[in-house]
Structure 1
Amino acid sequence: MNNDTHPGAAAVTAAGTGPEPDADARTAVQVDEKGVRKVAFAAFVGTALEWYDYYLFGTAAALVFNHLYFTDLNALAATMASFATFGVGFVARPFGAFLFGLLGDRIGRKPTLIISIVAIGTATGVVGLLPTYESIGVVAPILLTLLRLLQGLAVGGEWGGATTLAIEHAPAEKRGRYAAMVQIGSPAGTLLSSMAFSLVLLLPDDAVDSWGWRLPFLAAFPLLVVAMLIRMQAEESPVFEQIMAEDEKNEAEKGSAFDVFRKGWKQLIVAIAVALLGVGGFYVLNTFVISYATGTLGVERQAVVNATLVAAVVQILVIVPFGRVSERIGPGRVVVFGGILTAVAAWPLFALINTGSVAAITVAVALGIGMVTISYSVTGALLSELFPAKLRYSGVALGYNLAGALTGFLPFIATALMNAQDEPSATPAIVLLVVISLLTALGGYVGERMRVEDDVVVKAG
């Protein structure tokens, strides 16, 4: 990698504390296009594993954890407790974002991402070894919750770091497509986890509950080895290396996650709004719908899980083109479009689900998650341009994961509100989906006007 350093390179300023760097005073670094694709692929593979692990827990929470780990409760209470355990991971994610963001902005993107992937892969694999309530009593759900907390901490640092690493290797005019490549890790993880459970559900119910459900979790161990081998070959971010070199030369203070709250709080609020729909909307149309369709509408478990498989394929087909569209019109405008479209479609989508038809549910879930994915496809690109490189890992991770903490309990809330009605219906879920869709659209509108340029310019060489 060849560095072409401009003699007048400016020091990076904290978000909101100074003007954008002058074009003539910015450092330029050249990267090999082939190397950029290699780094983006490494980020994608790691992120796919992270989300495989994370989504696997969500599917299991809707299908088996309720009666295997909360057997002393009635059916509704067990489902609520299972979703609460699922939501605990979202509470942990902002703490993970803060911890890993602090490391990522100080010791580097690559080593921090290696730590995060080992943590979540190990936690997921251990879930597959965990005894049930019948074997060890109340200790079982406690251990399950602790493992979910560890998952949440690790995921809190993964997505922001993978996005930052990919984007900081990419030329500015191609950031949309490389950020989108990391986003594909989410549906790829969903596809893997849904396929795993779909195969498990081919077994007799007794076999599923006794040992079958454990197999997808145990698969996290070999997948972790593969992801580690790929990720360790990725190079450190050239932007991070250049900024650290400049800071050492000028004896400047390194970036800190604390600075995101002190100096970049406006950007952080916008980042949270932008990310709400990509996280919360997905779980309303995936985790909640799985529980609602199987529990309230009486649809077979296998059919609903298959619907999520179709939705994951649709996500991949949506992410790639909208990542490129964002390079032309700006990621904020794409976020606005996706948010408004989802808000308008929320009611019709649940009308299809309420028919109880497997075909209608499949169409609704696929279309709904596809619409949510329009905004999600460019979330990484927009969030990365809200924060300067010195605070980017922390800012991106905190914005995304605080949104997760705010929306992770949506399946729990929607289920509670639904069952508080005289006749249970999906109306609360619809209202929640509309609200977060509009908030994300607003975030995209404001965020598009807050984008900043790096002091370090990456150019393909």
Structure 2
Amino acid sequence: MTQHDRPGGPPGKAKPVVTDKEARRIAFAAFVGTALEWYDYFLFGTAAAIVFNRLYFTALDPTAATLAAFATFGVGFVARPVGAVVFGWVGDRIGRRPALLITVVMIGVATGLIGVLPDFTAIGIAAPVLLALLRLLQGIAVGGEWGGAVTLAVEHAPPERRSRYAVLPQIGSPVGTLMSSGAFALVLLLPADSFDSWGWRLPFLAAFPLLIIAVYIRRRVEESPLFDELVKQDERAKVPALDVFRQAWGRLVVAIAAAFLGVGGFYIMTTFMISYGAGTLDVSRSVMVNATLVAAAVQIVVLILVGRLADRLGPGRVTLWGGLATAVCAFPIFWLVDTRSTLLIILAVTAGVGVLSIAYAVTGALLTELFPARLRYSGVALAYNIAGALSGFLPFAATALLETSGGRSWSAALLLIGVALVTAVGGFYGERLRVKDEVATA
């Protein structure tokens, strides 16, 4: 990369001074907004496993209905790169803050509308079509959310402590999981008829009041000081996504690989695992959902610890170790779930989510350091959401592999190992690029 393209502020100018107090405040605001958005997004994953397959695809046999529900779930991931391009342009041209305000409104409205959407018995084929459309809008919004939140947190952070502040938006993911899984755990206490008729809708309808909170929080976030400098120096890219593909395509590939496990592995361990446990092993749905609750709580601790560790070891090296550790643990995790023991299932899901969170904890720090400030929002968003698009159909793929292998879990374990090794390679090359940039700018 040239001096003009290296990560950091505009060339030839002193980097804006930021304090720990300001960094903590902005990172916390990014975390709260991200948690609310992930709550909205994760609701769909849980509902796809235990609700949509029965209420919106009732004309299909059970396996086909589950596959159709997961395919609709995957639509949101396919839409995410579109959101990355659109909101990457907004974030790199107009500002990080306006992009984050628009995304939170979009996903809040789309999620709330799912809560009032009639099912297949009421409006027929229009029900799954509208469901897919709302999922598409969710995906577009989330495509611009995470990259902006991480970029804003990192650009307000002191360089030597970027990993610990970049991890705060990451914590929004397990908190969103806790909120969404907790909401479903509560409504699953209702009688089955009540749950199917109206109970499952309540977590989605909660998106409307949460939207008010999210907008209030996002309006209080200041613009990135690095972006303000880019505006003053007229250093903004005209078509940021195009420049990412033309000038930083190698880094984009590395970033996609590094992010793959944090997204894809998570959905194998949660969305697919809930379906596998409840559908194939006949384990109570409540047990599977509660396992994700425990896992999300443990994940928060892992993210905080690894985020601090990465400031000393480097995010790329941590990503490599996290990918290798997940690959080693894949088979034991599924063997424990296969016991059908409630305690061992909770232990397995918690261990699986915890070990893959080693790589996920530093995804934000690694990706933001791979791209220059003028392309950062677009580069980070594209990498994370292309990884998301590839990951979105992993529950579908795992279900199909499970069917092919006669319901035996080794096929899903192999899929998790493949995802983990891709991320290990991404972490290896990401750290090499990061160190190369540090030497070049020293």
Q: Normalised by the size of structure 1, how large is the TM-score?
A: 0.92
SS at match of 1:55: helix
Tell me the equivalent position of 1:427.
410
SS at match of 1:285: helix
Q: After TM superposition, list the pairs within 5 Å mapping 1:331-370 onto structure 2.
A: 331-370=315-354
Tell me the equivalent position of 2:251.
267
Cα separation, 2, equivalents of 1:412 and 1:195: 24
Tell me the equivalent position of 2:50.
63
Residue deviations 1:421-448 (CA, integer Å, cap 9, x gap): 3x21112211110011011011001000
The answer to whether residue 180 in structure 2 is matched with residue 196 in structure 1 is: no
The answer to whether residue 385 in structure 2 is matched with residue 401 in structure 1 is: yes
Cα separation, 2, equivalents of 1:389 and 1:23: 7
Residue deviations 1:373-410 (CA, integer Å, cap 9, x gap): 00000000000000000000000000000001111101
SS at match of 1:450: helix
The answer to whether residue 319 in structure 2 is matched with residue 328 in structure 1 is: no
Cα separation, 2, equivalents of 1:445 and 1:385: 14
Tell me the equivalent position of 1:440.
423
Once the two structures are overlaid, the 10-residue window that deviates more, 23-32 or 404-413, is 23-32
Tell me the equivalent position of 1:310.
294
Tell me the equivalent position of 1:134.
121
Tell me the equivalent position of 2:89.
102
Confirm or deny: 8 A CA contact 2:177 2:296 kept in the other structure: yes
Q: CA deviation at 1:254?
A: 4.5
Higher normalized helix content (fraction of residues): 2
Tell me the equivalent position of 1:379.
363
Q: CA deviation at 1:28?
A: 2.6
Cα separation, 2, equivalents of 1:454 and 1:113: 33
Tell me the equivalent position of 1:8.
none
Confirm or deny: 8 A CA contact 2:259 2:360 kept in the other structure: yes
Cα separation, 1, equivalents of 2:171 and 2:37: 12
Q: Among 374, 379, 402, which residue is 1:390 paired with?
A: 374
Q: Among 130, 137, 155, which residue is 1:168 paired with?
A: 155
Cα separation, 2, equivalents of 1:154 and 1:318: 27
Confirm or deny: 8 A CA contact 2:257 2:422 kept in the other structure: yes
Q: Among 1, 4, 9, which residue is 1:13 paired with?
A: 4
Cα separation, 2, equivalents of 1:454 and 1:397: 26
Tell me the equivalent position of 2:432.
449
Residue deviations 1:220-275 (CA, integer Å, cap 9, x gap): 11111001101110100001101221127xxx754611100011100000000000
SS at match of 1:28: coil
Residue deviations 1:40-99 (CA, integer Å, cap 9, x gap): 111101110111111110000000100100011111111110000001101000111111
Residue deviations 1:102-122 (CA, integer Å, cap 9, x gap): 110000000000000100011
Cα separation, 1, equivalents of 2:171 and 2:97: 20
Q: CA deviation at 1:34?
A: 2.3
Tell me the equivalent position of 2:194.
207
Tell me the equivalent position of 1:88.
75
Q: CA deviation at 1:33?
A: 2.9
Confirm or deny: 8 A CA contact 1:26 1:455 kept in the other structure: no
The answer to whether residue 270 in structure 2 is matched with residue 286 in structure 1 is: yes
SS at match of 1:70: coil
Residues 348 and 270 of structure 1, relative CA distance in 2, 3 Å threshold: same
Residues 296 and 228 of structure 1, relative CA distance in 2, 3 Å threshold: same
Tell me the equivalent position of 1:3.
none
Cα separation, 2, equivalents of 1:54 and 1:295: 23
Cα separation, 1, equivalents of 2:106 and 2:141: 6
The answer to whether residue 22 in structure 2 is matched with residue 35 in structure 1 is: yes
Confirm or deny: 8 A CA contact 1:335 1:444 kept in the other structure: yes
Confirm or deny: 8 A CA contact 1:388 1:453 kept in the other structure: no
- AA aligned to 1:341 is A
The answer to whether residue 264 in structure 2 is matched with residue 277 in structure 1 is: no
SS at match of 2:4: coil
Confirm or deny: 8 A CA contact 2:8 2:15 kept in the other structure: no
Confirm or deny: 8 A CA contact 2:23 2:158 kept in the other structure: no
Cα separation, 2, equivalents of 1:432 and 1:65: 24
Structure 2: where are the runs of 5+ without partners? Answer: none
- AA aligned to 1:352 is L
Tell me the equivalent position of 1:76.
63
Q: After TM superposition, list the pairs within 5 Å mapping 1:168-247 onto structure 2.
A: 168-247=155-234
Cα separation, 2, equivalents of 1:289 and 1:164: 31
SS at match of 2:233: helix
Cα separation, 1, equivalents of 2:441 and 2:28: 23
- AA aligned to 1:173 is E
Residues 253 and 360 of structure 1, relative CA distance in 2, 3 Å threshold: closer
- AA aligned to 2:416 is L
Q: Among 111, 135, 149, which residue is 1:124 paired with?
A: 111
Residue deviations 1:109-157 (CA, integer Å, cap 9, x gap): 0000000010001100000010000100000000000000000000000
Residues 379 and 93 of structure 1, relative CA distance in 2, 3 Å threshold: same
Cα separation, 1, equivalents of 2:293 and 2:243: 40
Percent of aligned pairs with the same residue? 60
Q: Normalised by the size of structure 2, how large is the TM-score?
A: 0.96
- AA aligned to 1:140 is A
- AA aligned to 2:324 is I
Residues 144 and 454 of structure 1, relative CA distance in 2, 3 Å threshold: farther
Cα separation, 1, equivalents of 2:291 and 2:428: 32
Cα separation, 2, equivalents of 1:204 and 1:24: 63
Confirm or deny: 8 A CA contact 2:4 2:10 kept in the other structure: no
Q: CA deviation at 1:455?
A: 12
